[in-house]
Amino acid sequence: MGDLFVTPFIAGLLLALLLPLVGNLLRLRDEWLATLGLAHLAAAGALLGMAAHLPSFLGAWAGALTGAGAKRAGGGRSNSAYGLMILAGWALTLLVAANTALGDALAHALIDGQLYFAGWRELVIDVIVLLLALPALRWLTPRLIAARLFPERERANRLPAWRWHLGFDLLAASAIAAGTATLGLMASFALIFVPPWLAFRLAPDWRRAQWLAGGFGVAGYGLAFALALIFDQPFGPVLAAVFVALFGFSGLGRRPVSAEF
């Protein structure tokens, strides 16, 4: 691997570890569709930010936070709301591309994947997001699992549940924004969707689901990066194809995940 690809590889590798861990909690909360909705809004925000000569991450973050805020204002989980996010993000992305000097090619790069263009700015952002997200996940995870398995506990004990639900929404939006700005929309969705699905099928408990999700994310990312370079292919579609193949080879059995710590 030449020096040209070292920075993009490391930037993407950090997200290949983080996004599946976030995806585990999204799957636990039955919010996997939210990832695609937030990613679409992040892509639209990134394009709007670049049109305004701002870093793509700031635009992506604003777009993802808008989606997270709309979700909270709408009263929580709703697949219909996530579907609207997907449509709104897709429409905005293509309309901005059609009506600015950025052009359709850049919009497609955001959607299909533009990892090879990631530089030091993306790497620094990904490092910051990872360093903030990992301790936050450690604090949030037991509270979110308890909220999922024992929803009446928060109300009965008058716990300030809004803190960890809102905190996780902001964390997920930030991780998805970093992924969209670095990897592209569909590559980020592949990392946040497939490794947790595989982990939930194979792991006997929550701890091992975390290890499996992170392991699948990193291994699939490394394989996809190598294959894309060797065969001179775009990274995003190769990553998606690798994860689809991994899912196909994972077997048909599925075990429920228990909330052990």
Three-state DSSP state, 118: coil
Two tokens at 245?
């193949």
**pLDDT exceeding 90 applies to what percent of the chain?**
46
pLDDT at position 109: 62
Are the beta carbons of 21 and 172 closer than 8 angstroms? no
Question: Which of 88-102, 182-196, 243-257 ranks highest by mean pLDDT?
Answer: 182-196
Q: How far apart are CA 179 and CA 191, in angstroms?
A: 9
Each residue's pLDDT tens digit, 98-122: 887 766 656 666 666 668 778 899 9
Structure tokens at 195: 């490794």
* Confidence (pTM): 0.89
| Assigned CATH for 3-249 | 1.10.3470.10
41 with 67: CB under 8 angstroms? yes
Q: Helix, strand or coil for residue 159?
A: coil
Please state, as a whole number, how many other Cβ atoms lie within 10 Å of the Cβ of residue 233: 13
For residue range 175-207, what is the model confidence (pLDDT) as tens digits?
A: 999 998 899 888 999 999 999 999 999 999 999
